[in-house]
Structure 1
Amino acid sequence: MDEKFQTIIFLVRHGETDRTYLLDPTIDGERVLTQEGRDQIKKVGEYIANFAPVAIYSSPRLRTIQTAEVIEEVAKIPREIEQKQELYEIYSPGDYQALENIIPKFFDELITKHAGCHIVCTTHQDVIQGGLEAFDLTDEEKDFPCLEAEMYRLVFAGHKLVECQKLTPAASL
């Protein structure tokens, strides 16, 4: 008999940054968290700490690495942050459609590696939205857009997504 483990992935959008992508797309890779963004992510980390995550993954972008560092410190995650290209921001419609294949495959790999555990992934709004589009979710479950420092709690039974909940632990700031 195959055991079904409940694996939970927290899919976290980075906190507030020092400038918006719309002002100058050429500097997008240089954007960093503001103090407000760090404070937002501390709240996220405090919430996530209640679940004792075993691993944390991040997009290679500086702002998501900073987000992961704050969560790692606050939640006392026992492993180093692992950067993953699958969580990297996208810039074209073709890439957006590809996320519907990339993210479920990436989640399958995480679930296989961390079955029955809690995992954190820090990423970008487009990756979250594109990735969730791959699953059979209602508009209410998706609840787009995903704003700064918001996150989704994805519950998997085995490799099947059984619950999706948007969370806003930093909303009080």
Structure 2
Amino acid sequence: MSQRDFNGFAIERTAPSTGVISEPAGTLHFTVRERVKKDFLCHTAIAVFELRVGEVDKPWGRIKIRHKGAMRRTGIGVTIEQDDFAVADTAERILSDAAVTKALLPLDFVKFQIDVSSGGWRAEMEHFGGSEVCMMLPPSRRYVPLGREQRGHLIAAFWALFCAMARH
């Protein structure tokens, strides 16, 4: 992830490939780190954004969020990995919140999941923007910028999730 993707935001490096990003108002803080995915003759350093509310030491439920629609996005769908009432209730709150759905629809995420435990929840999103693709043949590196529009959608989605979970 490049610092220019979050120009104007406070970024505190906590490790070589990890940092904490704070919005200018200082109320929303989330972590960004790189996850390396290896393929044949190349690898991709994918940007993983993480928002925590409370502590999630051992999650007892996971909600996977995906876009619905083949050619055009028509909504948000969820898959619940552990069939538990509290996890299903959390998923229902997320789907029924109009602000969350409105914020997630235009967001170009590869993977989005929420881990739920008695101590809190953790939202983790892999976004291809803010990633770097390294090829062996021909030797090259290509940075995929997050972009101003996607950055806005990311902040709106995390803010909507933060507000939705704080209300319940």
Pairwise TM-score range, normalised by the shorter structure: under 0.3
More strand by share: 2
More helix by share: 1
Higher relative contact order (CA 8 A, sep 6+): 1
TM-score (norm 2): 0.25
In terms of Rg, which structure is larger?
A: 2
